[in-house]
Structure 1
Amino acid sequence: MKKKIVVAITGASGSIYAKLLIEQLQKLSTQIDEVAVVMSDNAKDVWRFELDNEDYNNFPYKIYSKTDFMAPFASGSARFDTMVIVPCSMGTLGRIASGISDDLISRAADVMLKERRRLILVARDTPFNLIHIRNMQTVTEAGGIICPAVPSYYSRPKTVEEVAMTVVNRIIDLIGLENESYRWGAH
């Protein structure tokens, strides 16, 4: 069964993860029915600063305004099965953990949790304080998956993009898509 995926991008550092995920989803398009994207204003600012471009304007997927509560994934009836928030700011995590749906990102996350669908939060901050940890616990207990943007190195990445792809490949695995990537013990 093909996936319907929401990709939400917040203003946390780590725009490279969102960029690489969007590119990888394009490559895996035969496994995907639909991808929808929503970005916060801060996400666009951070993207421009970190990646020195506005390539988010060229996504091959529909981009929804953070205030568009008419977006299909604002309701469980649209049957999006996965949402990835990448990178996920601690503010967004806190709003989700508290059940505050004040924009499309937090509303869609709330829908994923209430419908018992897959919600993946790629937390991108360090160090974590106790409030962050408790918010992660709350989201985890509600059915979400916390996937910190912590790269792995056993594949011996050589570039910044290869390092970031170790996180993106974990996200792809968590979504449930078939993807060729480094597998421990399969070398």
Structure 2
Amino acid sequence: MTARRRLVIGVTGATGVIYAQRMLQALRGLPEVESHLVISPSGVLNIKYELGLGRADLHALADHVYSFRDVGSALASGGFATAGMVIVPCSMRTLAAVAHGLSDNLITRAADVTLKERRRLVLMVRETPLNLAHLRNMTAVTEMGGIIFPPLPAFYHHPKTLDEMVDHTVARVLELFDIAVPGPHWEGMQGPGG
């Protein structure tokens, strides 16, 4: 039996927690991937405000759940092999902490570990407009090997619903980890085969 690939998912207090929910739902049906979830206190507030759900509702979608303050958990060690980490949504505070190596909670510690182990780190940053500090922090994370992936909708697949727009973005992010989920893919202006 092949070991399941571990994907760490951090949820912070930026708007867009629907992306985390849909990502966890997409991963739930994949027997080859196990999800490891950490939610910040502000992330819990957004779950309630944006989705009308509680922390337990997102916990139920994950394979493993960790406390935000548990910096002694397995996720805090490079010896705990993962495919990488997604912070979805990623607040500007969390971006800044990652950019400057401030590992004062499990999300930022796990991100730091992901970078030091040269694993894939994707930050789905949420804020507009961007100020110079935001841009510099994005540059710093990119220079360290992280990927900045604002959840901007694409329209080439002619989405009819908000769910289709969210699912397309989630599928694109998961592709960065070689995790395939159903969804529209760009096949050129002429479609398959030209």
With normalisation by structure 2, the TM-score equals 0.91
Say which structure, 1 or 2, has more relative contact order (CA 8 Å, 6+ apart). 1
CA contact (8 A) 1:81 1:112 kept: no
Structure 1 partner of 2:38: 38
% identical equivalent positions? 42
Output the CA distance in 2 between the equivalents of 1:50 and 1:60.
19
Q: Which amino acid aligns with 2:6?
A: K
Q: Deviation string for 1:94-132 (max 9, x for gaps)?
A: 000011001000000000111100101001111111111
Q: Please, what is the CA RMSD of the aligned residues?
A: 1.3
Q: Deviation string for 1:113-166 (max 9, x for gaps)?
A: 111001010011111111111100000000101111111111111111111112
SS of the equivalent of 2:160 reads coil
Structure 1 partner of 2:75: 73
Q: CA deviation at 1:78?
A: 0.7
2:34 paired with 1:47: no
Moved more, 57-66 or 125-134: 57-66
Q: Which amino acid aligns with 1:63?
A: V
Q: CA deviation at 1:57?
A: 3.9
- Return 5+ residue gaps in structure 1 as ranges: none
SS of the equivalent of 2:123 reads strand
Q: Deviation string for 1:61-88 (max 9, x for gaps)?
A: 2211111112211100011121000000
Q: CA deviation at 1:22?
A: 0.3
**Larger gyration radius, structure 1 or structure 2:** 2
Structure 1 partner of 2:127: 125
Q: CA deviation at 1:180?
A: 2.9
Alignment map for 1:3-22 (pairs within 5 Å): 3-22=5-24
CA contact (8 A) 1:90 1:123 kept: yes
Query: 1:178 aligned to 180, 184, 188, which one?
Result: 180
Q: CA deviation at 1:31?
A: 2.6
Q: How many residues end up aligned between the 2 structures?
A: 185
SS of the equivalent of 1:7 reads strand
With normalisation by structure 1, the TM-score equals 0.94
Q: Which amino acid aligns with 2:120?
A: R
